[in-house]
Amino acid sequence: MEFAGYGFPKAHSTAYAYITYQTAFLKANHPAEYLASVLTIESSNHDRLSRYIAHVREKGIEILPPDVNESDLDFGVVDGAIRFGFAGIKNVGAGAIEVILEARSEKSFESLFDFADRVDARKVNRRVVEALVKCGAFDSLHSGRASVWASIDSALERAASMQRDRAVGQESLFGGLSSEIGVDRPKLVEATDWSERERLSFEKELLGFYVTGHPLGSVAPLLAAFTDTTALTADGKVGREVRAGGLLTGLREVLTKRGKRMGFGTLEDLEGSFELVIFTEPFEQHLALLREAKAEMSESGERGPIPLIVQGTLEEGDPPKILVRDVTRLDVAEEKLSASLRVRVKSPDVTRDRLIALKRLLGAHAGDCGVYLHITIPGESETVLGVGGIRGVSPSVELCHEVDRLFGRPVTERAI
């Protein structure tokens, strides 16, 4: 029978239905534990991991960074929050994790030096310690990651010396009293703390996502105003024209069979990422901006992300794919993407001289953005008028400032 080619027997259907019910029950009644398990399963896939972490945060569950005294092999639940597991940290292998957990089972680590003294340096090498410092695993022991980073050499050298002495049966002057009161303990090297940009960059490098902040955090409201799709809301929009925003974290240029350039990229927003496909015409048009955004270099020479808004057709994929039609810097999106400029004034402010001056200002900034004058009589009515002889304007920051100055207060509003 044709049905046999794709149909499930009742036994299979029942089993799958039961598993589905169990999964739904766990997610509904024990969301933190359920999501911690999902993150553990995806811990080796950092692209998918970042999307699930965004989902966790959307549910109001806090994600805690790795911690040498609290993290286990897998993701776990601590007081209702989810603690990042050692297995999700790049450059930290199973052997190193086993040694760390075994050493910690005796008692918690007290400092970077105590950690280095008690773990086997053959398994927990410099690369592992550097990864733990970069992702914040020592934050509960030391407040400044830069000082911990600067102290790695001295900690490892001290630990290696002590372990050699123990191997040949020697003891230090104080024997086993290094943890007693009155015995000087090693101090961290003083160092200027990392900038937020450096700290977040290291977290992304080692964990695949940002823990203590996000480079887009300060512009999140602006992104929300000029986008209609995020990595988590892309489902159901396949085939539609969308507008997404974020940071260009990857860009690859290729040549077509006709010898023309096109590009493939990755756009990361606050919730995940999109794959970008940029065909020849938009690629050539926006190449300088794409390269600048990928280089993350400002005019002052300081490295920093350049948020972008991309428009195009959404296609299905994991991550979702956008066939890019247009690219805009976020900091000029309000000017470029605004569909209308609205001037909101009260009736006493509307005088003949001001209206003449307003028309003159608008005429000097001709463009395609519609302009509307909202005149309100407080507590009574609002009248919306077009400005005679003005078909459209370019809603630049300069124009808005000049109009605001004309009326003596902020009266302009740009809308999509």
pLDDT tens string 355-398: 889 988 988 888 888 888 998 988 788 888 887 778 788 888 78
Query: Who wins on pLDDT, 72 or 380?
Result: 72
Length of the chain: 416
Q: What is the pTM of this model?
A: 0.70
Dihedral angle at the C-alpha atoms of 168, 174, 180, 184, nearest 10 degrees?
A: -110
Q: In this structure, is residue 1 part of a structural domain?
A: no
Q: 11 with 46: CB under 8 angstroms?
A: no
Confidence (pLDDT) at 117: 92
87 and 165 inside one domain: yes
100 and 173 inside one domain: yes
Q: 263 with 251: CB under 8 angstroms?
A: yes
Q: Which of 29-38's residues contact partners 24+ apart within 8 Å by CB, and which partners?
A: 31/59, 31/61, 32/61, 32/77, 32/80, 32/81, 32/82, 33/77, 35/59, 35/61, 35/82, 36/74, 36/75, 36/76, 36/77, 36/82, 37/75
**Other Cβ atoms within 10 Å of 75 Cβ, number:** 29
Query: 338 has which bridge partners?
Result: none
Segments forming the whole domain that contains residue 352: 338-415
The number of helices, as runs of H, and strands, as runs of E, in the chain is 14, 13
Count of domains for the chain: 3
Q: Residue 210 contacts by C-beta under 8 Å, 6 or more apart in sequence?
A: 200, 203, 204
pLDDT digits (tens, 9 = 90+) for 164-186: 777 676 555 445 544 444 345 78
pLDDT digits (tens, 9 = 90+) for 315-348: 998 889 999 999 999 988 877 777 788 889 998 8
Q: In this structure, is residue 259 part of a structural domain?
A: yes
- Looking at 304, 333, 362, which one is the last position of a domain? 333
How far is the C-alpha of 15 from the C-alpha of 21, rounded, in Å?
10
